[in-house]
Structure 1
Amino acid sequence: MIGKNVQHVFIVGSKGIPGNYGGYETFVDRLTEYHAGNAALKYHVACKATERGRFSYHNADCFKVNVPNIGPAQAIYYDVAALNECVKYIRANHIPHPIVYVLACRIGPFAAHFERVIHRLGGKLYINPDGHEWMRAKWSAPVRKYWKISEQMMTKHCDLLVCDSKNMETYIHEEYPQYDPQTLFISYGAETRASKLADDDPKLLDWYREKGLSPKSYYLVVGRFVPENNYETMIREFMKSGSKRDFALITNVSDKFLEELKAKTGFDKDPRIKFVGTVYDKELLMKIRENAYGYFHGHEVGGTNPSLLEALGSTDLNLLLGVGFNREVAEDAALYWSKEPGDLAALIERADAMTADEIHALGQKAKQRIADAYSWQFIADEYERLFFGEARG
């Protein structure tokens, strides 16, 4: 579908759709789903693969990019190869006014080159800077330095930075005033509906039986198993609390970090702390969130976090680390804690003593917050305005 009345958008930087789990992957999946019926908008989505090929999904043209197994440099290779593929396709098919949208700031050293090439083709280069990748504890010092320089170069060499957090947008302007970056805030989205699973669904009951849990008997966390998500603080403080409930952690554990946590906290001696593995069934995970007594969120690096939005859309009582990113999203629909010793433990005991009416009122506020500013329909509409040049600054 190539014509002057069609806006072609090339998306690079997610692992691809369908079937990949992660913030960017869910974003691209939902964006293409909500715009699948829009004949004036055509998506082309890069998909990381071990072979080449093209297929259609949600009416998007998905192209496979063969990425060799070269360790940590894979992500950089993938983005560069995907961008080269986009350029080749735009040229071969004489695509008018294309938009190339790169997710994350991984390829700074190549940004000036691709900006020039895309501009020569009459196109625009948009970047989503994600969060502070250079602050993540998993990276060595040289890698962190690379991410920071890459972020700087991509800020300099693009037409627009689409930030999924107002805090991130502020950071970009304060950190790089010399480039006078053009930015736009469009958040990440979340579902606003309830799970399709019934309370007595065998799948749910079997999961509870296997994990030794029951509805409203547990606090929950769902997220990547990395130090900057503050697992140590959450576990240590829960162990300090006198809560009679369990703490269920849905995460893909790494043995090294698990052993570190065990040595630091001794959580293996507290039967309330339960690492329950991963849950990739969307409806089941949504139901587990709905049935949690409370949800912990300890993320402090990055922009608007998908697991926080999902928790606000499903769980009534949310206890969040009180950093700017989290307060911006939840506002007064959650309770907040700091990393000061004893602070979260005291909040857990306060939460345990809350009345059903108090918890319900917070839950209603949280769901309204998602419906007003973070529903996928709202986000898809914002992107439609952006791609057709009608975005509000």
Structure 2
Amino acid sequence: MPHTSPSLLILGTRGIPAAHGGFETFAEKLALFLAGRGWRIGVYCQEEVPVVTERFRSETWRDIELIQTQVASTGPRATLEFDWHCARDAARRQAVSLVLGYNGAVFLPYLRLAGRKILTNMDGIEWRRPKWSLPVRGWFWANEWIAAWTSHRLVADHPVIADHLATRRPRSATAMIPYGGVPIESAPTEPLAALGLESGRYLISIARIEPDNSILTLVEAFSRKPRGMKLVVLGTFVDGNPYHRQVREAAGPEVIMPGAIYEADTVQALRFHARGYMHGHTVGGTNPSLVEALWASNPVIAHDNPYNRWTAGEAGLFFSDAASCEAAIESLLGEDELAARLKAAAQARAREAFDWQAVLEAYEREALALTDRVPRPALQPTGMVSNEPR
């Protein structure tokens, strides 16, 4: 076995330290975990500038190489430009490439032709999201196929995603590794007071304000009558957006919309002290926000689909429309015994399936297999499946 340290490059996120979302948080956790176990880690970080003066610039952060990559554009074009330059640079480096998401998979054949090993987290089934136009959905569909056949190994974060990928590649090519979280065992109440909230006297939703997240359904169902409690809807509202206007118009006086909140300690406190978490996502895999709700011991009211049913398990009450959503709200708010049972189930489900240590070890095992090194013994949450490369 070679004595040099194994190397991994992380592509597909805006970069770390995490400030943007689930993939960035995961990239940070995995990078720190592997660096602490002797890996050489590089993470590509997107830097939007008026004019490119230095395409690549390396910095060191907590023993991790941050590969600052300049792009002189914005929006989707900037993301594609960034993905291309990341693939081009990674092709010159002796390392396994972990690609998070497949939106820029059109560039992966270049990386593979350069002889690099590719491990791709396939994220959700993006082309099925109704919010995208037909051309955009076609782009995602094509990139999903390219990623599936260009990557040496695929990662699905949910059994339903693994089933879907089995229609693209043999099932043995995919490892099912969910998202992780950490327990929230206490939190201050000061962030609640700033919003006029009391511990245990509100429900919370944390999501993008989009139709496929059922935000309008949640707000309508809650607002049908006085509850004696509040609903906190965290997310960015944009003036002029028709759907956002509908949600605002549907909101009763007990609905609070403070916008998006990015301070981790504040969000953690709002989760911890909530009576329950409302999750309207209709598509996707293992949603990070839902996992975090389970780790906060939140009873869950979730849209009824295979993604949410598997993730929430016995911690969830499920709805399919505004009427069933209202019934779930009334049950959770009115039955203390039910709330306590769901709370305990959330704790159990989080420990069973979404432990960060096990998730990160599973990724390390997959990456090590691509370096032809001997993987460490597995520590897997229940239901996690990993097949050795064929």
In the superposition, the TM-score normalised over structure 2's length comes to 0.88
The letter of the residue matching 1:146 is W
Q: CA deviation at 1:38?
A: 1.0
Report if aligned partners of 1:160, 1:181 keep a CA contact under 8 Å in 2.
no
Matched, 1:46 2:44: yes
1:342 counterpart residue number? 323
Give the whole-Å Cα distance in 1 for the aligned partners of 2:44 and 2:4. Answer: 23
Give the whole-Å Cα distance in 2 for the aligned partners of 1:63 and 1:185. Answer: 28
> Mean Cα displacement is larger for which, 62-71 or 144-153?
62-71
Structure 1's unaligned 5+ residue stretches are: none
2:188 counterpart residue number? 198
CA 82–210 in structure 1, closer or farther in 2 if over 3 Å, else same: same
1:354 counterpart residue number? 335
The letter of the residue matching 1:377 is Q
1:100 counterpart residue number? 97
Give the whole-Å Cα distance in 2 for the aligned partners of 1:279 and 1:265. Answer: 18
Report if aligned partners of 2:108, 2:150 keep a CA contact under 8 Å in 1.
yes
Report if aligned partners of 1:111, 1:157 keep a CA contact under 8 Å in 2.
yes
Matched, 1:229 2:220: no
Report if aligned partners of 1:225, 1:254 keep a CA contact under 8 Å in 2.
no
Give the whole-Å Cα distance in 2 for the aligned partners of 1:113 and 1:48. Answer: 20
Report if aligned partners of 2:219, 2:247 keep a CA contact under 8 Å in 1.
no
Give the whole-Å Cα distance in 2 for the aligned partners of 1:350 and 1:70. Answer: 46
Report if aligned partners of 1:219, 1:247 keep a CA contact under 8 Å in 2.
yes
How many residue pairs get aligned? The number is 366
Q: CA deviation at 1:70?
A: 4.2
Report if aligned partners of 1:295, 1:315 keep a CA contact under 8 Å in 2.
no
Secondary structure of 1:53's aligned partner: strand
Give the whole-Å Cα distance in 1 for the aligned partners of 2:150 and 2:248. Answer: 45
Report if aligned partners of 1:236, 1:265 keep a CA contact under 8 Å in 2.
no
- 53, 64, 72: which one pairs with 1:60? 64
Give the whole-Å Cα distance in 2 for the aligned partners of 1:13 and 1:57. Answer: 19
Q: CA deviation at 1:7?
A: 1.2
Give the whole-Å Cα distance in 2 for the aligned partners of 1:347 and 1:38. Answer: 45
Report if aligned partners of 1:241, 1:348 keep a CA contact under 8 Å in 2.
no
> Mean Cα displacement is larger for which, 48-57 or 14-23?
48-57
CA 109–321 in structure 1, closer or farther in 2 if over 3 Å, else same: same
The letter of the residue matching 1:193 is I
The letter of the residue matching 2:208 is R
Structure 2's unaligned 5+ residue stretches are: 49-53, 370-374, 379-385
2:109 counterpart residue number? 112
1:245 counterpart residue number? 229
Aligned CA-pair RMSD: 2.1
Q: CA deviation at 1:263?
A: 3.9
Give the whole-Å Cα distance in 1 for the aligned partners of 2:238 and 2:172. Answer: 38
- 287, 291, 299: which one pairs with 1:317? 299
Report if aligned partners of 2:184, 2:272 keep a CA contact under 8 Å in 1.
no
Residues 25-47 of structure 1 deviation map (CA, whole Å, 9 limit, x = unaligned): 000111122333212x2211100
1:292 counterpart residue number? 274
Matched, 1:153 2:157: no
- 303, 307, 326: which one pairs with 2:285? 303
Secondary structure of 1:286's aligned partner: helix
